[in-house]
Structure 1
Amino acid sequence: MAERLTGKVAVVTGAASGIGQGCARLFAAEGAKVIGVDRAGADEQCDLLDEAATDALFNRIGSDHGRIDILVNAAAFAIFDWIEHLSYSDWRTTLSGELDIVFLATRAAWPWLKASGRASIINFASANARHALEGSPALAHCAGKGGVLAMTRQLAMEGAPHNIRANSIAPGFIRTAATARHLDDDPAFEAKVLAKNMLKQLGEPDDIGWCALWLASDEARYVTGADIAVDAGATAW
């Protein structure tokens, strides 16, 4: 199918790279008016942890288009370290970069999502929201993504009276510029990931983007409060 998002206004955070970039590209190819947001290299530059700037940005986008039909919260930042080395500052930075960044954007977009009459929020949890991965120093990241998973269920409940759907995608290991350092820092890490995967391959941003595209479309009109694993079967055994 082509043009599955024709006429829809989509805001994609974290659109300058990785999963966000993949979503923005696929959404535009399927007919959406996409507004990409990132700290740099996107249609709109914004620090999404700046409350006033985030509110102003979404008010301007909403005023320009009259509504927001799709919100993809792909922007995130995490610091990976073992608990004995993880500072409280790094812990708080990660929770802000994975939880506050979703809260602030979603709250700012909310009036415009309500104006849509049929809106979709897509958040990103993680396989790490449910499972630990041996060899990965991801304590703060696991906590942040577990929070996103719980937040999405609550948003689904609060959004239902306004016909706002909220779902999350739980990616397995996806090869991006941000995750490449894990592969570079630990030559054995890729083998650990693949050992856990049923499908012996690493994911790419488009593998997540296609799932997000479906959740954004009216094809998924009966789907809310769901968390969809796109992880090569890693959490299925």
Structure 2
Amino acid sequence: MTGRLEGLAVLITGTGGGIGRATALACAREGAHVVGCDLNPGPSEETVALVRAAGGTMDAVAPVDLSTPEGAAAWVEEAAALAGGVDVLVNNASAIRFGAIDVLSYEDWSFTMRNELDIVFLVTRAAWPHLVARGGGSVVNVASITATRGAWFMPQNAHGAAKGGVLALTYQLVVEGGAHGIRVNAVSPAMTQTPHTTPMLEDPDGPAEQILSRVPLRRWGQPEDVANAILFLASPESSHVSGANIPVDGGAAVVG
């Protein structure tokens, strides 16, 4: 371990796989005590086992429903007790439902808002007093390039609106956190190859090739690509960075 997060208590939501798992591994490798959570106990336990096998320190709680005030507060309190406080919060967990504007039900819209935007508010609100008590810290929110542009290959109105809200909340919290030494930033991935997206990316009749043609680096993002950006924003190396939104998209955000 090189110790970029040595001794820090890092809370990460949604650590059962994908970006959350990669971030847990990266932060633990740098000396953090990671506490994760997930809806699914099996994948959550796998991540903990991977971190510990690599010599890192990690605990996790599952199942946890962060979309309720009670669930979010209970996890943060348990995580802070396990890690001895909160220095870094990574809001990664999300759940999405898709559909065109004339098809998507209000129930599916509300589900997406609750599980992509509300959980960021609820978890951050619960962790905020711990960060203030610590004398500062870092919050990293996982947004999306759909927060700032439309997705042409499938309808993502609820997802884009929710992630746009995540960015707006990020910017407001920069102002509210500054006096307390709390930095708040975001990362915005484009298409990233995870267990959830792999079936679509490997479908010969799917939109994968068309999507890839609009990525200047001509490769899919990997969870580790996003985790490395999160690691930078979590670490003291970014001590004067607050209010940044880092695209992790192979250059896709600048393509017309």
Band of TM-score, shorter chain: over 0.9
Which of the numbers 152, 162, 179 marks the counterpart of 1:161? 179
Cα separation, partners in 2 of 1:161 and 1:113, compared to 1, 3 Å:
same
Name the amino acid aligned to 1:44: V
Name the amino acid aligned to 2:139: I
State the Cα distance separating 1:136 from its structure 2 match.
1.5
Name the amino acid aligned to 1:4: R
Which of the numbers 172, 195, 199 marks the counterpart of 2:190? 172
Cα separation, partners in 2 of 1:156 and 1:12, compared to 1, 3 Å:
same
Aligned to 2:27: 27
Name the amino acid aligned to 1:195: S
Cα separation, partners in 2 of 1:65 and 1:177, compared to 1, 3 Å:
closer
CA distance in 1, matches of 2:203, 2:112: 20
Q: What is the CA deviation profile of residues 134-161 of structure 1, one whole-angstrom value per residue up to 9, with x for unaligned ones?
A: 1221111111111111110011111111
Q: What is the CA deviation profile of residues 38-65 of structure 1, one whole-angstrom value per residue up to 9, with x for unaligned ones?
A: 1123311211012112212212332444
CA distance in 2, matches of 1:100, 1:11: 17
More deviation, 20-29/109-118 = 109-118
CA distance in 2, matches of 1:185, 1:151: 36
Verify the 8 A CA contact 1:24 1:34 in the aligned structure 2: yes
Verify the 8 A CA contact 2:72 2:123 in the aligned structure 1: yes
Secondary structure of the corresponding residue to residue 198 of structure 1: coil
Verify the 8 A CA contact 1:66 1:112 in the aligned structure 2: no
Matched, 1:205 2:195: no
Aligned to 2:246: 228
When normalised by structure 2's length, the TM-score is: 0.88
Which of the numbers 192, 207, 213 marks the counterpart of 1:189? 207
Q: What is the CA deviation profile of residues 20-49 of structure 1, one whole-angstrom value per residue up to 9, with x for unaligned ones?
A: 111001000110000011112331121101
Aligned to 2:61: 44
Name the amino acid aligned to 2:61: E
Matched, 1:141 2:156: no
Aligned to 1:217: 235
State the Cα distance separating 1:186 from its structure 2 match.
7.3
CA distance in 1, matches of 2:84, 2:195: 35
CA distance in 2, matches of 1:100, 1:195: 34
Aligned to 1:11: 11
Aligned to 1:103: 121
Verify the 8 A CA contact 2:35 2:83 in the aligned structure 1: no
State the Cα distance separating 1:236 from its structure 2 match.
1.8
State the Cα distance separating 1:195 from its structure 2 match.
1.5
Q: What is the CA deviation profile of residues 149-181 of structure 1, one whole-angstrom value per residue up to 9, with x for unaligned ones?
A: 111001111111110100000001001112234
Q: Which consecutive unaligned segments of at least 5 residues does structure 2 have?
A: 45-59
CA distance in 1, matches of 2:83, 2:90: 17
Counterparts of 1:50-61 in structure 2, within 5 Å, are: 50-61=68-79
Q: Which consecutive unaligned segments of at least 5 residues does structure 1 have?
A: none
CA distance in 2, matches of 1:179, 1:208: 15
Name the amino acid aligned to 1:83: I
Give the percent of matched residue pairs that are identical in Structure 1 and Structure 2: 41
State the Cα distance separating 1:192 from its structure 2 match.
2.0
State the Cα distance separating 1:67 from its structure 2 match.
2.2
When normalised by structure 1's length, the TM-score is: 0.95
